[in-house]
Structure 1
Amino acid sequence: MGREKNSSGAGDPARTLELLWREGGTPPTSRRGPRQGLTVDAVVDAAIALADEGGLDALTMRAVAQRLGVTPMTLYTYVPGKAEMLDLMLDTVFLRMPRAGFADGGPWRARVTAVADENRALYLRHPWVVELRVHRPPLGPGVMSKYEHELAALEGLGLDDVTIDSALTHVLGFVLVAARTELDARAVDRESALSDGEWWAAHEPLLNRVFDESRFPLAARVGEASAVAYGGLYSPDHAYAFGLARVLDGLAALLPRG
């Protein structure tokens, strides 16, 4: 099952919805299997653990079965395939996301920032979610409760419903890109076994010999100032905070005056 298969909404719609809205974690219909006590929830938890450890490339039905100590055929009696499994995994992590309370109102910027922070934390906790193409999200309780919660951050601001949805999409899109960039940077550090500081120390002597500051004065000045500010080549926290502030500034321009 290659990377092209890692998309939401690719499974059987009826079976997926039946599984998403199950109660008690058991299969929606009676099925026999040699492993008593195994539930859909247990299967999904095992799949999430595998993806957390090795990404979506490590996720196969056989690997999930091995982790649970059952045969692949037994696993298929609970979840029909990887496509449905991905939808169940995504909906489950969405359902379990910690959520800030908006019942007491509060400044809208703080509410939207909380939504952004919650999504960033989710991506860093479950990096495989960033790998997953989510054009058609599974309409399960996790997706719906997440959407309901996040819309509340923009409710009462005088925006029409379409603008509320568009504003939320814009915020979440920024967070996804920021998280993907941060995860890529982590992967580079991990694969090279060098931190940004160590990489720079190794390359700086050669760069000083070949780089002509008089030819690239802006690059030299801005690059040096940024490296000092970031403590290296890149600061994910700074990039996220700066970008989110600009996103919020843009949303502020949409709000009715007063």
Structure 2
Amino acid sequence: MATEFTGTGDPARSMELLWRDGHEPRPARGPRARLTVDAIVDAAVALADAEGLAVLSMRRVAEQLGVGAMSLYTYVPGKGELIDLMLDRALAEMYPDGPPSPQTPWRERLEHVARANWDFYVRHPWALHVATGRPPLGPHIMAKYEVELRAVDGTGLDELEMDSVVTLLNGFVNGTVGGLLEKGEAERTTGITEQQWWDATAPYVDRVFDAERYPTVARVGPVAGEALQAAYDPDHAFHFGLARLLDGVAALIEARRAAG
């Protein structure tokens, strides 16, 4: 569940800062500035990476920089604008080599997009908790969208279908990587591994489980559990689900080509 939302600050100020092209605000008076917007955003991203989004505040970012909280407001009006800047900054690292070659098969291009999104959220788990219904329309989110649209360009899909496939793929990755992050958080919170939890739980399950009442569970559960060594394996879910999702996209592409 999201804990923060993009687009909660002043839209004009967010856009001005997102597209500032290196121009930094300066204090109207007093000594020469020792801060920059980039330094503030970098400190905020590092804080969220290390401790999670829940600890993020202008005060905590100021502490990271060794300055008073009020000095940040000369550069970034508030937390709403800061969230916009953080997400756009983090997205800058997603596709360092740009889009895959148009000669690369479309399926490989979409696999590349899916893996890049998965790896991004593993590096920046806090970003999964930022709702982007009002996306920060900065240069790096635009670049991400451009790369991902190109992954389905030239397949015969129309513009709405291209956008819908990208949206579907991103939503799928968000859901599966969320399971991975939840597993890690469960271990940190409880202090025991998943295997230790199963070892403690299994004897009680054996005592109360009724195979006649749950015959399908009795048949499928042990096979899946043995194969996955867990009740849920996010990595398996990612690869299995991605393959099925791309099978569906392939059917859509074939239908469009057949029609026309």
TM-score range, shorter chain: over 0.9
Give TM-score, length-normalised by structure 2.
Answer: 0.92
The residue aligned with 1:69 is 66
Unpaired runs of 5+ residues, structure 2, are none
8 Å contact kept, 1:34–1:74 = no
Q: Which amino acid aligns with 1:85?
A: L
Q: Which amino acid aligns with 1:111?
A: R
Q: CA deviation at 1:97?
A: 1.5
Query: RMSD value over aligned CA atoms?
Result: 1.7
Q: CA deviation at 1:64?
A: 0.3
The residue aligned with 2:189 is 191
Matching of residue 42 in structure 1 with residue 43 in structure 2 = no
The residue aligned with 1:140 is 138
8 Å contact kept, 2:122–2:181 = yes
8 Å contact kept, 2:27–2:33 = no
Q: Deviations over 1:31-73 (max 9, x none)?
A: 2565744211110000001111222110000000011011111
Q: CA deviation at 1:177?
A: 1.0
Give TM-score, length-normalised by structure 1.
Answer: 0.93
Which residue, out of 222, 227, 230, partners 1:229?
227
Task: Name the SS of the counterpart of 1:97 in structure 2.
Answer: coil
The residue aligned with 2:27 is 31
Q: CA deviation at 1:104?
A: 4.8
Q: 1:210, 1:243 → 2: CA distance?
A: 32
Unpaired runs of 5+ residues, structure 1, are none
The residue aligned with 1:130 is 128
Q: CA deviation at 1:193?
A: 1.8
Q: What is the total number of aligned residue pairs between the two structures?
A: 253
Matching of residue 205 in structure 1 with residue 170 in structure 2 = no
Q: CA deviation at 1:19?
A: 0.4
Q: 1:65, 1:85 → 2: CA distance?
A: 12
8 Å contact kept, 1:99–1:118 = no
Distance 1:35 1:129, change over 3 A: farther
Matching of residue 92 in structure 1 with residue 82 in structure 2 = no
Q: Which amino acid aligns with 2:133?
A: H
8 Å contact kept, 2:18–2:138 = yes
